[in-house]
Structure 1
Amino acid sequence: MREIHVIGIGAGDPDQLTLQAVKALKSTDVFFILDKGEEKDDLVRLRRYLLGEHCTEGTYRVVEAPDPARDRKASGADYSPAVGDWRSRRAEIYERLIADELGEDESGAFLVWGDPSLYDGTIGVLEEALGRGAVVFAYDVVPGISSVSSLAARHRTGLSRVGRPVQITTGRRLADAGFPEGVDDVVVMLDARQAFRHYPGGDEGGGGIYIYWGAYVGTDDEILVSGPLDEAAPRIEALRAEARERKGWIMDTYLLRRHPE
């Protein structure tokens, strides 16, 4: 039976690759890479670099396919259907790649930025591809170091405090609902809105809230900012705009800490 590895490769630092991930790389015959366009060529380059570092040349193949475009303007009631449509089109591509490019006794792999279990749809897309019934395969998941873990490490802080919860959410949810009830430590991902400037909770002007922010964490382009939110927010906004203009895309994550001790 065909076998698929879903391999977490970390937040961007090649040294974050785990020994388990290296073993999975070495056992793979075909690597599938979705091309997100010229603006994100460096994401493909990192994957190819990891293969060159840990795999023997001539023992594997790389198959690239264009990543389907996603409706980034969808919001409100249209958001979930838009994401579902995008994932279904990805499932069609995965199904075709596995059926056409992978032999019955071969193993393939998808290299996932960060950790496959945290805000990544690869597992769900593979399940949808399996559910179609046109191709049969088994798959396993190799965890990776997430951008959340890497962010906390780079800022030399923990994600939670003694006896207190931490919640991971999206910028969309933070903008709509503010801090979750009973939670003072919130990790925010996928925040194109920069919701930290406009959330409806906390003290006036962001006083009493501390932010730990990072973009391109673990890469040569890494940017880190921390401090009281009302002081750090304008600087983050400016750095984020400059970085996005320069690279054409941005990956950032942050921790908001209410009532810092």
Structure 2
Amino acid sequence: MMHLTLIGIGTGNPEHLTLQAIRAINAQDLILIPRKGAGKADLADLRRQICADVLTNPKTQLAEFDLPIRDPGTPDYRQRVNDWHDAIALRWQGTLNAHPQATRAALLVWGDPSLYDSTLRIAARLDPQPTLEVIPGITSLQALTAAHQISINEIGAPYLVTTGRRLRDAGWPTGVDTLAIMLDGDCAFQTLDPHDIHIWWGGYVGMKEQITHAGPLETAGPEIIEMRTKARADHGWIMDIYILRRTSC
């Protein structure tokens, strides 16, 4: 039976690897390297570099595969994502089947595999089901708060982790004054009344390319949009995250 390990590699900085992650990398027969196309070649390059830096087991092989593109034509968002995950699982399965001698395989997952990442959902689609192990990594949320030297919550107060899509479609959730926003490709903070809201934003947090900005949303929001647009043009991709807090509470 295949043993599949999902290894959190932090936010893209090789120095964020834990000792547990390094041991897990060296315990594998096969490490899967997904490729997302020429515009996002940095993502595969970083995984290769991590393996070059910490992999000392000569028996461990790297196996690269191309990720399918999400079909933009399906109008239902959940169905579109489910179809995409089905297609990714088939690519995983095909890559694993091409290496029948491997009984231990791993994927290197950005951040924490359990925090706003679909790797676990995709792994559940494999047939036959492998035995599964998850190695936690530093999350982008941790890297963001460290970069800005802030605590995410006020004393005794809750915070909510959600997505840009939810913020855009449903607005600010009731009962909470601090939001951590992930998976936001369209700067959903633009849909809010910026009065009395502070934002802490970061792109490529934890990486050498890291850029950050913070301030009142009214003035910092447009500046962040400009920074984000330039960074995406320069690199061909961007991973960013931000925290919003009502300042009038």
Deviation (angstroms), 1:239: 0.6
Question: CA–CA distance in 2 between the matches of 1:136 and 1:115?
Answer: 21
For structure 1, the 5+ residue unaligned runs are none
Q: What aligned pairs does 1:81-230 form with structure 2 within 5 A after superposition?
A: 81-103=79-101, 106-130=103-127, 135-199=128-192, 204=193, 206-230=194-218
Q: In percent, how many aligned pairs have the same letter?
A: 40
Runs (4 or more) in structure 1 with deviation over 3 Å come to 72-75
Contact 1:102 1:108 in 2 (8 A): no
Give the aligned residue type for 1:85: D
Deviation (angstroms), 1:29: 1.3
Give the aligned residue type for 2:58: G
Question: CA–CA distance in 2 between the matches of 1:27 and 1:101?
Answer: 16
Please give the secondary structure, in 2, of the residue aligned with 1:101.
coil
Question: CA–CA distance in 2 between the matches of 1:110 and 1:215?
Answer: 23
Q: Which residue of 2 aligns with 1:59?
A: 59
Q: Which residue of 1 aligns with 2:237?
A: 249
For structure 2, the 5+ residue unaligned runs are none
**Cα 1:91–1:186 shift into 2, 3 Å:** same
RMSD: 1.6
Tell me the alpha carbon deviations over residues 10-31 of structure 1, each in whole angstroms, 9 at most, x when there is no partner. Answer: 0121111111111101111110
Q: Which residue of 2 aligns with 1:239?
A: 227
Question: CA–CA distance in 2 between the matches of 1:260 and 1:13?
Answer: 36
Q: Which residue of 2 aligns with 1:32?
A: 32
Contact 2:33 2:64 in 1 (8 A): yes
TM-score, normalised to structure 1's length? 0.91
Contact 2:4 2:131 in 1 (8 A): yes
Contact 1:2 1:102 in 2 (8 A): no
Question: CA–CA distance in 2 between the matches of 1:40 and 1:218?
Answer: 18
Question: CA–CA distance in 1 between the matches of 2:29 and 2:125?
Answer: 23
Contact 2:8 2:21 in 1 (8 A): yes
Deviation (angstroms), 1:40: 1.1
Contact 2:113 2:137 in 1 (8 A): yes
Please give the secondary structure, in 1, of the residue aligned with 2:71.
coil
Is 1:71 matched with 2:64?
A: no
Contact 1:208 1:259 in 2 (8 A): yes
Tell me the alpha carbon deviations over residues 50-99 of structure 1, each in whole angstroms, 9 at most, x when there is no partner. Answer: 11111126321111111010135766xx1000000000011111222222
